[in-house]
């Protein structure tokens, strides 16, 4: 499961997918998202996002 799939799964479980797509998450909803992501995947959202971006950048260079 890639980062986007993980993120979408957590957003769906919190019923926040539509609000996220509309860029309307409140600070409290972001906190819920970050906490839920870490509980589910034992990794921080920030770390997984950075790893995904690094992998994407490496793909573009090759």
| DSSP at 47 | H
pLDDT given at position 62: 62
- CA–CA–CA angle 13, 28, 41 (5° rounding): 40
Full-model pTM:
0.87
What is the pLDDT confidence band of residue 5, given thresholds at 50, 70 and 90? very high
* Span 10-41, pLDDT tens digits: 999 999 999 999 999 999 999 999 999 999 99
Q: What share of the chain is helix, strand, coil (3-state, %, to 5)?
A: 75, 0, 25
Q: Give the three-state DSSP class for 42.
A: coil
């Amino acid at each position: 499961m890639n980062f986007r799939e993980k993120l979408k799964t957590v957003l769906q479980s919190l019923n926040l997918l539509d609000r996220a797509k509309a860029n309307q998450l409140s600070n409290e909803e972001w906190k819920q998202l970050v906490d839920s992501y870490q509980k589910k995947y034992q990794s921080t959202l920030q770390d997984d996002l950075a790893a995904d971006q690094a992998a994407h950048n490496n793909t573009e260079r090759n």
